[in-house]
Amino acid sequence: MSLLGKLFGAGGKGGKSASPQEAIQRLRDTEEMLTKKQDFLEKKIDQELITAKKNGTKNKRAALQALKRKKRYEKQLGQIDGTLSTIEFQREALENANTNTEVLKNMGFAAKAMKAAHENMDIDKVDDLMQDITEQQELAQEISDAISKPVGFGEEFDEDDLLAELEELEQEELDKNLLEIASTENVPLPNVPSTSLPARPAGNGYIGLATQA
């Protein structure tokens, strides 16, 4: 049985398969366990390296044994690194698959809800309803226009007749102004005096005026 099979207890044909959420949680637990194992092995490697250095000159046999253990720990650490990479890849793929499954499930639920909402709808009925709405809107607009139109209280006047009457009034006013101007121009001038002017005395006019004065 593979390592993953041992970790997750994969059963035979009759075994119950785990849900995606359960599998994801188990993978996360496994990652945490292996990470702790990594920390432990790294500490052991450091210890064996210290032991090898300490006994390098004094006890060569003990130093070699420490290096051998260090090599085994490093091999185990490398295997765990590879296993963690595999588990991380599998967990991410499973999370993506689970997300896609939930998305498709919700989309299917929405599609069924939309189908149920449209089940009792008839496109012909919708068209008839929209036509009725349009007619009612047009009627409402006509009523609004009729209400806003000024009311003449039953009296109707021909606009052409009103314009003709206005022209007559303007013409009368113009004729009146012309008559006033004509009467002003025919005002009689003052009468010319009938008495003759006195004759001018002989000689210098200036002297005659002085003597007369």
Residue 128 pLDDT > 80: yes
Q: What pLDDT, in 10s, does the model give residues 9-61? A: 544 455 577 788 899 999 999 999 999 999 999 999 999 999 998 888 788 88
Could you give the CA distance from residue 93 to residue 110 in angstroms, rounded to a whole number? 26
Specify the pLDDT at position 160: 82
Least confident of 38-52, 64-78, 131-145, 180-194: 180-194
Q: Is the pLDDT of residue 210 over 70?
A: no
What does the pLDDT average to over 147-174? Answer: 76
Tell me, what's the pLDDT at 119? 82
Confidence of residue 107 (pLDDT cuts 50, 70, 90): very high
Identify the structural domains of the chain with CATH numbers, from first to last.
Answer: 18-103 (1.10.287.1060)
Rounded Cα gap, residues 3 and 23, in angstroms? 15
Q: What is the pLDDT of residues 81-101, one digit of tens each?
A: 999 999 999 999 999 998 998
3-class SS string, the chain? CCHHHHHHCCCCCCCCCCCHHHHHHHHHHHHHHHHHHHHHHHHHHHHHHHHHHHCCCCCHHHHHHHHHHHHHHHHHHHHHHHHHHHHHHHHHHHHHHHHHHHHHHHHHHHHHHHHHHHCCCCHHHHHHHHHHHHHHHHHHHHHHHHHHCCCCCCCCCCHHHHHHHHHHHHHHHHHHHHHHHHHHHCCCCCCCCCCCCCCCCCCCHHHHHHHHC
Q: Tell me, what amino acid is at 158?
A: D
Better pLDDT: 80 or 11: 80
**Over 80: is that where the pLDDT of 178 sits?**
yes
- At residue 208, does pLDDT exceed 90? no
Between the alpha carbon of residue 183 and those of residues 34, 169, 170, 173, 186, the distances in Å are 129, 21, 20, 16, 5
Structure-model confidence comparison of residues 212 and 146, the more confident one: 146
Q: What is the pLDDT of residue 213?
A: 39
Contacts of 3 (CB under 8 A, 6+ apart): 83
- Weakest-pLDDT range from 97-106, 121-130, 132-141: 121-130
50: tokens are: 């210290």
For residue 207, the model assigns a pLDDT of 44
Confidence of residue 188 (pLDDT cuts 50, 70, 90): low
